[in-house]
Amino acid sequence: MIRILGTIFAGLLGLAFGSFLNVCLSRWPQGESVVSPRSHCRNCDHTLSWWENIPLLSWLALRGRCRNCRSSIGWRYPLVELAVGALWAVIAWRSYYAFFPLEFAAGMMFLAWVLVGLAVLDAEHLWLPNAMTLPGAALGFVWWFLQGEQVGWALHVPPTPWEDAEEAGKRILAILAAALLILLIRWIYWLIRRREGIGLGDAKLMALLAAWLGLPGALLAFGLGVVLGALVAVVLLAIPAARTSTEGWALKKLPLGTFLCAGGVVSALWGQPIIAAYLRWSGF
């Protein structure tokens, strides 16, 4: 019962945080404040009343249009709210069996929230801001470290300072390795094509994923992201209208960061069973 109530509560809270994320995603790239003024239509500046500001329901009730000027409100708004709400509900449901469910869930929810935000920013602006990736990676490292400490104390085998330093060192190496992987691909791509293929933002995003999920989790996210990106590219190629559009295909940039974020979410939630199954299958 507590589990069900907690899941519903987390889902509703996720809708609200998704709604706030939408405000950030619309205003931040324009350099506007995310606190004031109150929520308004981006087309006609009509200030939203409370009932036009309810996550998901308002968008449905208004059928995706501003009440004042009838201009359409993008699909991104309900999608982001739904994504954060659904992810938070799943995380709450699954945290039930974690060692320290509240701390675990809080960390994972923050990660999911950041990944949804970065996915949208990269999709809309091809932009993975340092102001999100770098503090996000640092927070992930701290969260991971505290989780390990707590579990150690709970099992009555608190780690010694030497063990702490060793574990932390390994984690930092994992973070650097994840970022280096992207830099290496970037360099190889540049050698072959003499053009920038992957942004530095993607390297910092991989560092963030490794800080939260460890190197295997980050590599899984990378693999899933690349497969997903390739699938999307193939689908786009199959659509004639997309092929004949403007610049031609080689120059068209797909937001790798968006696919990495999607892979990161899957890796965070289902990484352990997937990696375990892979190791069994490959005979380790």
Of the pair 52, 122, the CB lying nearest Zn ion is at 52
Q: CB–CB of 18/79 below 8 Å?
A: no
Of the pair 51, 99, the CB lying nearest Zn ion is at 51
In angstroms, give the least distance from the CB of 72 to Zn ion. Answer: 10
Of the pair 53, 68, the CB lying nearest Zn ion is at 68
**Which residues of this protein are in contact with Zn ion, per CB under 5 A?**
41, 43-44, 46, 66, 68-69
State the CB neighbour count (10 A cutoff) for residue 215. Answer: 19
In angstroms, give the least distance from the CB of 62 to Zn ion. Answer: 10
CA distances 203 to 129, 148, 199, Å, are 12, 26, 7
Q: CB–CB of 4/34 below 8 Å?
A: no
Centroid of chain to Cα 72: 26
In angstroms, give the least distance from the CB of 79 to Zn ion. Answer: 20
In angstroms, give the least distance from the CB of 153 to Zn ion. Answer: 54
DSSP state of 65: B
In angstroms, give the least distance from the CB of 49 to Zn ion. Answer: 13
Of the pair 39, 150, the CB lying nearest Zn ion is at 39
| Cα 138-144-150 angle, rounded to 5 deg | 135
In angstroms, give the least distance from the CB of 26 to Zn ion. Answer: 13
What is the 3-class SS of 219-259, one letter each residue?
A: HHHHHHHHHHHHHHHHHHHHCHHHHCCCCCCCCCCCCHHHH
Of the pair 43, 160, the CB lying nearest Zn ion is at 43
Q: CB–CB of 59/78 below 8 Å?
A: yes
Closest by CA position to 117, among listed 101, 94, 135, 90: 135
State the CB neighbour count (10 A cutoff) for residue 131. Answer: 8
Of the pair 39, 68, the CB lying nearest Zn ion is at 68
